[in-house]
Amino acid sequence: MKRPVSILLLAISSTALLAFIIFNPQSSESTETGLVEAAQQFQQSLDNNQQDKMMYDFEDGERYNWHFVPRERNGLPLKAMNEEQRDAAMQLLKLSLSETGYQKATNVMKLEGVLRAVENRPDDDTYRDPNNYYFTIFGNPQPGEAWGWRLEGHHVSLNFSSLSDEIVSATPTFFGANPAKVPNGPIEGWRVLQPEEDLARALVKSFDQDLLAEALIAEDAYPDIVTGTEPQAQVGDLEGLAYSKMNSEQQDQLMQLLEVYHEVHLAEVAEESLKSIREAGFADIHFAWAGGLEVGDPHYYRLQGPTFVIEYDNTQNNANHTHTVIRDLQNDWGENVLKAHYEEAHK
């Protein structure tokens, strides 16, 4: 049950292609503020009606209601906040991600303005809107308490679960890009998710005929990520080429790709995730590819191990529309860590 609680970045014209959101991602200064304090400051900046839209019980099923398409969402969007409130919201985001992750998130949001121009929508269009991203807090951010929060909109879904100031899970993590490569205009060629594509293509093209035969799982790319948006990732058996069959250079390339996906998170969060992958064993990590190998070919790939799955898909809009997702098969939503915490507390 929901709990009641008492970018100058682009001015778009018909000829301009880049649109900026109304907050500046570089404007807020680094502080020593912790997550709990940042969440409290954000909450306190809101009026009662705004808080009621944003706040949910930690156990509410809404916490698992995630998606990455344009749709109606529960929470409070940036467009419903004043400047002070947006600054507080973005400060919470900045404290929850690495600098790389924060930049990636705000860049994906900027792409809504680009897409508005590509689709010849008016300047005041609300369907492609860089401010149509929703903040939702679950639970009561307090020292010693479990709580979580989410930022979500088109092509962004960031889900954080915390104990006090510690993020114990930052998955599911979804980033998308449309266009994946800006086709023309003042930022022609800009690619928000460039390393995710380039590193994987370099890896798959380094395989000899025998290794490539193992890595390729389908001639045609899957139309989208296959794990879906269920609370628990729907995964099948390991497919593709095992890490253990790659040479040392290819293994290094795979690790670089793995790090690209994790470097969006805070260093301590990324290290904990990579630690669980190491402990499960690199030998069992598989790299699978579907679709063509050349730039412009629709393509899909997957990195999967005993504890995680990462997916990438680029098939829509003539293979210029990218989806990526990270799922922790053991600790999405902080389920394992929070379960252990509660069991220890009840002792």
pLDDT in tens, 98-119: 999 999 999 999 999 999 999 9
Task: Evaluate if residue 44 carries a pLDDT over 60.
Answer: yes
Q: Which of these ranges, 20-29, 168-177, 212-221, has the smallest mean pLDDT?
A: 20-29
Burial class of residue 9 in the structure, from the number of CB atoms within 10 Å of its CB (0-12 exposed, 13-18 middle, 19+ buried): middle
How far apart CA 146 and CA 12 sit, in angstroms, is 42
Output 14 or 42, whichever has higher pLDDT: 42
What token pair was written down for 97? 């991600």
Task: Evaluate if residue 341 carries a pLDDT over 70.
Answer: no
Strands in 156-274 per DSSP E: 156-163, 166-169, 173-177, 216-218, 241-242
What pTM value is reported for the model? 0.90
Position 1 confidence tier, pLDDT thresholds 50, 70, 90:
very low
What token pair was written down for 289? 């590819």
**Res 39: pLDDT:** 98
CB 321 within 8 A of CB 114: no
Position 41 confidence tier, pLDDT thresholds 50, 70, 90:
very high
- Which DSSP symbol is given to 237? S
What token pair was written down for 220? 């045609």
**Res 33: pLDDT:** 80
For a pLDDT cut of 70, what percent of the chain falls above it?
89
Position 344 confidence tier, pLDDT thresholds 50, 70, 90:
low
**Res 99: pLDDT:** 98
For residue 57, the tally of other CB atoms under 10 A from its CB is 14
CB 239 within 8 A of CB 288: yes
Please name every residue paired with 328 in a beta bridge, in sequence order, or none if there are none.
308
What token pair was written down for 227? 């794990």
How far apart CA 76 and CA 82 sit, in angstroms, is 12
Tell me the chain's radius of gyration from C-alpha atoms. Answer: 20
Average pLDDT, stretch 180-208? 97
**Res 148: pLDDT:** 97
Query: CA 82, 87, 90: angle at the middle one, nearest 5?
Result: 120
pLDDT digits (tens, 9 = 90+) for 14-35: 223 333 333 343 333 444 689 9
Distance from the Cα of residue 223 to its chain's centroid: 19
Average pLDDT, stretch 305-312? 97
Q: Which residue has the tokens 């793995």?
A: 258
**Res 336: pLDDT:** 81
Cα–Cα distance list, 123 to 85, 93, 106, 187, 217 (Å): 23, 27, 19, 18, 43
Q: Which residue has the tokens 């060629």?
A: 189
Position 13 confidence tier, pLDDT thresholds 50, 70, 90:
very low
